[in-house]
């Protein structure tokens, strides 16, 4: 009968929507639990002595400054190496490419690189940069290995940003007699720049948190790298080693918190730039 059907429909609807709410709640809950746990246990460690001090002793008491420096250094270097190549590659794919076997292959390769397990990338970096070319454990080797990992990510976000630039803006440029490169470099790229920047900053956050790639290319030595050929230990590597050793847990918690704060910082900055851009455009 009609009213019973209507009631069944509504009951199922209610239950299903309830489940969906639960799913969303579980997701937010998971994030909240992890963040809360790291913050509560690590906040006591956030003293200037911890952030700027050096570790000493068998169990790495003291501070973690060299790891912070190593993390920032390798992230900056990796972004410097990847971004120009990735942006230009995205320009090609978005503006110049014609659908065909070559473009298909490039996309497949980019997708493959994006899904490489990071430990495979780490062994790759070890084999090619550390041993093959002979750089030894170094910031440069790690940055090069990381840049292969980040390349497809930045290409994807840059390509989307470029495609999001409305077509008629380009037509105006061409109509004025500009060449393709003039259009791209003076009109399209600057217009897409905020979104490109967002993508780059998010990729930097990913680079800062990488462990498996860095451990086989930069080593595990406590060192504050100065030249790109210096080895070093980054924060994620330090966290892993502290957690595995298990003796100095406070240092582990402090490192975890600082790392999460760093990544959060990247995330929020990217989001802020994105929002500012949208507000300006809207």
Partner 1 sequence: MRLRRLGALAVALLIVASSLALAGCAKSGGASQTSLTVTGSTTVLPIAEVAAEDFQTANPGKRVLVAGVGSSAGIESVSNGTSDIGTSSRDLKPEEKPLGLVDTKIALDAIAVIVNPSNPVSGLTKAQVSEIFQGKIKNWKDVGGPDLEIGLVNRDEASGTREAFSKFVLGTADFDPTAAVLPGTGQVRSVVAQAAGAVGYISLGFVDSTVKALAVDGIPANEKTVADGTYPLWRYLHFFTKGDPKGLAKAYIDYILSADVQNTVVRDAGFLPITEGGK
Partner 2 sequence: MTESRDPRTGEPVPDMCVDDPADAVGAPDPHSDSTLSTISKATYFKEAALRNLFLLCACVAVAGVGLIFLFVGLKGWPIFAKVGIWQFLTGAKWYPTKEFFGILPLIVNSLLAMVGALVLGAPLAIGTAVFLSEVASPKLRELVRPAVELLAGIPSVVYGFFGLVLLRPIIARLFGGLGFGLFTVWLILAVMILPTIAALTEDALRSVPEGIREASYAMGATKWQTIWRVLLPAAKIGIIDAIILGMGRAIGETMAVVMVAGNARVIPDGIFKPFLTLTTVIVMDMPYASGDHRTALFGVAIILFIISMAFVAAIRVISRFGKEMS
- Footprint of partner 1 on 211-230 (CB under 8 A): 224-226
137 binds partner 2 (CB under 8 A): no
Per partner kind, with CB cut-offs from 5 to 8 A, the member of partner 2, partner 1, none near residue 229 is none
Minimal distance in Å, beta carbon 86 to partner 1? 14
Q: Which residues contact 117 (CB under 8 A, 6 or more apart)?
A: 212
CB of 66 to partner 1, least distance (A): 7
CB under 5 to 8 A by kind: which of partner 1, partner 2, none does 80 bind? partner 1
Residues of span 2-41 touching partner 2 by CB under 8 A: 9-10, 12-13, 16-17, 19-24, 26-28, 30-31, 34, 37-38
Residue 133 CA to residue 145 CA, distance in Å, equals 13
The residues in 143-202 that bind partner 1, with binding defined as CB under 8 A, are 189-190, 193, 197
- Total residues contacting partner 1 (rule CB under 8 A)? 28
- Sketch the per residue contact string, 48 through 87, with partner 2: x for CB under 8 A, - otherwise: ------------------------------------xxx-
Instruction: Quote the least distance from Cβ 225 to partner 1, whole Å.
Output: 7
Name which of 12 and 47 has its Cβ closer to partner 2. 12
The item of partner 1, partner 2, none sharing an interface with residue 166, based on CB under 5 to 8 Å by kind, is partner 2
| 69 touches partner 1 (CB under 8 A) | yes
Beta bridge partners of 61: 56
SS3 of the chain: CHHHHHHHHHHHHHHHHHHHHHHHHHHHHHHHHHHHHHHHHHHHHCCHHHHHCCEECCCCEECCHHHHHHHHHHHHHHHHHHHHHHHHHHHHHHHHCCCCHHHHHHHHHHHHHHCCCHHHHHHHHHHHHHHHCCCCCCHHHHHHHHHHHHHHHHHHHHHHHHHHCCHHHHHHHHHCCCCHHHHHHHHHHHHHHHHHHHHHHHHHHHHHHCCHHHHCCCCCCCCCCCCCCCCCCCHHHHHHHHHHHCCCHHHHHHHHHHHHHHHHHHHHHHHHHHHHHHHHHC
* Distance spanning both ends of the chain, measured CA to CA: 51
Applying CB under 8 A, which part among 43-51, 72-80, 207-215, 221-229 lies near partner 2? 207-215
Contact call for residue 244 and partner 2 (CB under 8 A): yes
The answer to whether the CB of 234 falls within 8 A of the CB of 71 is yes
Only segment of 12-20, 49-57, 95-103, 265-273 that touches partner 1 (CB under 8 A): 49-57
Determine if 250 is a binding residue for partner 1 (CB under 8 A): no
From the list partner 2, partner 1, none, partner contacted by residue 266 (C-beta under 5 to 8 A by kind): partner 2
CA–CA separation, 135 and 23 (whole Å): 48
132 sits near partner 2 (criterion: CB under 8 A)? yes
Q: 119 to 148, contacts with partner 1 by CB under 8 A?
A: none
Query: Site residues (CB under 8 A) for partner 1?
Result: 52, 54, 56-59, 65-66, 69, 72-73, 76, 79-80, 189-190, 193, 197, 224-226, 243-249
């Amino acid at each position: 009968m009609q009213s019973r059907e209507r009631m069944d429909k509504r009951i199922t609807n209610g239950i299903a929507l309830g489940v969906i709410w639960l799913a969303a709640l579980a997701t937010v809950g998971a994030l909240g639990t992890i963040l809360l746990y790291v913050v509560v246990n690590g906040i006591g460690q956030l003293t200037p002595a911890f952030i700027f001090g050096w570790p000493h002793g068998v169990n790495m008491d003291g501070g973690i400054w060299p790891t912070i420096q190593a993390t920032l250094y390798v992230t900056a270097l990796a972004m410097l190496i990847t971004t120009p190549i990735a942006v230009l590659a995205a320009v090609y794919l978005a503006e110049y490419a014609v659908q065909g076997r070559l473009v298909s292959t490039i996309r497949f390769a980019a997708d493959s690189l994006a899904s490489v397990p990071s430990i495979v990338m780490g062994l790759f970096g070890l084999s090619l940069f550390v041993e093959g070319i002979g750089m030894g454990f170094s910031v440069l080797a790690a940055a090069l290995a990381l840049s292969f990992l980040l390349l497809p990510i930045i290409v994807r976000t840059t390509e989307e940003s470029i495609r999001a630039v409305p077509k008629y803006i380009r037509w105006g440029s061409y109509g004025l007699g500009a060449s393709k490169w003039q259009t791209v470099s003076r009109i399209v790229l600057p217009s897409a720049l905020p979104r490109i920047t967002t993508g780059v900053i998010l990729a930097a956050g990913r680079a800062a948190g990488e462990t498996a790639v860095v451990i086989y290319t930069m080593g595990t030595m406590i060192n504050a790298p100065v030249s790109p050929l210096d080895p070093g230990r980054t924060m994620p590597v330090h966290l892993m080693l502290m957690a595995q050793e298990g003796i100095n847990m406070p240092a582990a918690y402090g490192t975890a918190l600082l790392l999460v704060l760093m990544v959060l910082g990247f995330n929020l900055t990217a989001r802020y730039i994105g929002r500012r851009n949208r507000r300006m455009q809207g």
